[in-house]
Amino acid sequence: MRTLGSPFFALLQQAEGGGAVPDLGTGLVMPESPVSQAVLGLLLLFSVISWGIILYKLIIYRRTTSQTRQFLEVFRRSSKFSEVQAVCRSLSESPLVGLFQSGYAELTAQLRQPGQPEPAPSPAAPGARPTVRSITAVDRALMRASVVEVNKLERYVGFLATTASITPFIGLFGTVLGIMAAFQGIGQTGSTNLGVVAPGIADALIATAAGLFAAIPAVYFYNHFTHRVKVFASEMDDFAMEFLNIVERNFT
């Protein structure tokens, strides 16, 4: 406690002795060192881009959740795949739309024969029901579409992981350089007075604080968005199985 309190008592002694107490407020807001300013500028750039991605993804994922719910209602209520296809353009933010369109295109290509009725999720007459040539090909089409949709959902999220991992080290780098400069100042002046030491150390520690300020939100939202992508991927897997069940039940 004596060691920790010595800077505070030194400031009191300076104030009681009429000495000027160093003004640390300006230094805490805007460091004087060019290296610290460059580090803070880089950290600010990472932080601004990260928050832009966070806000963008929050809006996109909210819209995706809403449109996925609407698409499932239409899909389960419709009696023909063409009815579902008609609403796909208005619900394009849902990843299930991409899966459906890919599976529907593959199914249509296999059933496109003269005199064959259009694909529908209800059985046709026993003698005229079309049959799909390869259910595995439909499954592969759905898998390819699922990979594409997951990549779309994960777009830009990786930058948050980069920000979370690299900004604390950038801040630490700025802190180390700042402390080195502070000790060089002590060596040049030959004084360990708090008024000489404190501004340089405070200037150096701002970089660490800025690095944590940029990293903490990035870590939180990266984990949050990763969980949301896993939920969307699970919904796509469920939809793919539901689509394949309808195809197998009605076209094989």
Q: pLDDT by residue (tens digit) across 110-123?
A: 877 544 555 555 44
What is the pTM assigned to this prediction?
Answer: 0.75
Taking the C-alpha atoms of residue 228 and residue 97, their distance in angstroms, rounded to an integer, is 18
pLDDT band at 108 (very low <50, low <70, confident <90, very high): confident
The two structure tokens encoding residue 144: 């390819």
Q: CA 178: distance to chain centroid?
A: 32
Which CA distances in Å does 206 have to 5, 39, 47, 184, 199?
A: 21, 10, 15, 18, 11
| Mean pLDDT taken over the chain | 80
Residue 22 CB coordination number (10 Å)? 17
Average pLDDT of the residues in 4-33: 46
Percent of the chain with pLDDT over 90: 46
Cα separation of 150 and 236, whole Å?
9
DSSP 125: -
Say if CB 40 and CB 83 are below 8 A apart.
Answer: no
Among the residues of 114-193, which ranges form H helices? Answer: 135-154, 157-189
- Alpha-carbon distance of 241 to 239, in angstroms, equals 5
Residue 20: pLDDT band with limits 50, 70, 90: very low
Q: Specify the residue for token string 């008024």.
A: 195
Of 43, 136, 156, 138, the closest CA to residue 100 belongs to 138
Identify the pLDDT of residue 135.
Answer: 87
First to last CA, the chain: 81
Place of tokens 């803070």: 40
Rounded to an integer, what is the distance from CA 67 to the centroid of its chain?
A: 20
Q: Note the pLDDT tens digit of each residue in 134-182.
A: 888 889 999 999 999 999 999 999 999 999 999 999 999 888 887 887 7
pLDDT value for 191: 63
